[in-house]
């Protein structure tokens, strides 16, 4: 059973360009979460999605950032008109449905975004 | 919203010693507390977790304790080894609302 997959692993963009980050959850997992990690800091929640639904986007900036998890294919985190402050590691996590209510999350290897 | 505080930010121990990392949380509704280990440039990996219906959980050299009244939980690593060196993150989650709130991490250095 392959783990959570993310691509690309490294992404370099110039200011004003768009960044598209992809996440394929573990097989059987229907919940996807995106987190951002700045250097020497913890992980900050951005958005929580299920197939075709955004459940919670309270941690995502209102402008320039969007996320989707279509019926088919990976989840996409899209950052438009990137700025230097967007440089960070972006981690995706997935979890299975859980009757217990709290879900164990498994992380992907991350995408390290550098904005020049 | 939930707020998780983690201490210390760095911890240096000699191989074979024990290491303890402590976290406090603010929301009494939180009931799931995982711990992640992150090596440099790698993904966070779940090492142990605890739910609020138990006070302690062990897995070989790793244990986690939870005090719901005081709203704090701790990670205990015994007989530390150099390969335990990494950044450790605690997190908290509210049942039915599964996003994780993380602490800022503890860099553990185990010297041979």
pLDDT at A102: 55
pLDDT at B95: 65
Which residues of chain B are within 8 Å of residue A59 when distances are taken between CB atoms? 99
Q: What percent of chain A has pLDDT over 70?
A: 94
| Token pair of A72 as six digits | 């088919």
Given CB atoms, is B25 within the 8 Å cutoff of chain A? no
The string of pLDDT tens digits covering residues A5-21 is 999 999 999 999 999 99
DSSP code at position B29: T
User: Which residues on B lie below 8 Å from A10 (Cβ)?
Assistant: none
Closest chain B C-alpha to A80 CA, distance in angstroms: 24
Of A41, A45, A108, the CB nearest to B100: A45
The Cα–Cα gap between B91 and B66 comes to: 12
* Dihedral Cα A45, A107, B50, B82, nearest 10 deg: -110
- The tens digit of pLDDT for each residue in B51-75 reads 888 889 999 999 999 999 999 999 9
B61 and chain A in contact, CB less than 8 A: no
**pLDDT at residue B7 in the model:** 97
The dihedrals phi and psi of A86, each to the nearest 5 degrees, come to: -80, -10
Tell me the pLDDT tens digit for each residue of B2-37: 899 999 999 999 999 999 999 999 999 898 999 999
Compute the half-sphere exposure of residue B46: CA atoms within 13 Å on the CB side of its CA: 18
Check CB contact under 8 Å for A109 and B43: yes
Q: Phi and psi at residue A58, in whole multiples of 5°? A: -65, -20
- Contact list in A for residue B102 (CB cut-off 8 A) is 35, 42-44
Which chain B residue lies closest to A108 (C-alpha atoms)?
B43
Please, which pLDDT band fits residue A2 given cuts at 50, 70 and 90? confident
pLDDT confidence of residue B71: 95
Query: What does pLDDT average to over chain A?
Result: 91
Alpha carbon B43 to chain centroid, angstroms:
16
Range with lowest mean pLDDT among A25-29, A39-43, A86-90, B84-88: A39-43
Report the length, in residues, of chain A: 116
């Amino acid at each position: 059973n392959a783990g959570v997959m993310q691509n690309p692993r490294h992404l370099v963009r110039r200011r004003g360009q768009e960044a598209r980050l992809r996440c394929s959850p573990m097989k059987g997992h229907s919940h996807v979460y995106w987190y951002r990690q700045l250097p020497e800091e913890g992980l900050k929640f951005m958005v929580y999605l299920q197939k075709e639904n955004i459940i919670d986007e309270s941690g995502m900036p209102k402008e320039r950032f969007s996320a989707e998890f279509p019926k088919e294919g990976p989840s996409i985190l899209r950052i438009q008109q990137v700025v230097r402050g967007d440089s960070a590691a972006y981690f995706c996590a997935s979890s299975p449905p859980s009757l217990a209510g709290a879900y164990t999350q498994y992380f992907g290897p991350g995408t390290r975004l550098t904005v020049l | 919203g939930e707020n998780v505080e983690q201490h210390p930010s760095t911890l240096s121990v000699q191989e074979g010693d024990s290491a303890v990392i402590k976290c406090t949380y603010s929301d009494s509704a939180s009931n799931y507390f995982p711990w992640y280990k992150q090596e440099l440039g790698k993904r966070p990996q779940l090492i142990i977790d605890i739910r609020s219906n138990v006070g302690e959980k062990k897995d070989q050299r790793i244990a986690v304790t939870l005090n719901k009244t005081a709203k704090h939980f701790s990670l205990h690593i015994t007989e530390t080894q150099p390969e335990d060196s990494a950044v450790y993150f605690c997190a908290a989650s509210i049942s039915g609302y599964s996003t994780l709130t993380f602490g800022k991490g503890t860099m553990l250095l185990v010297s041979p």
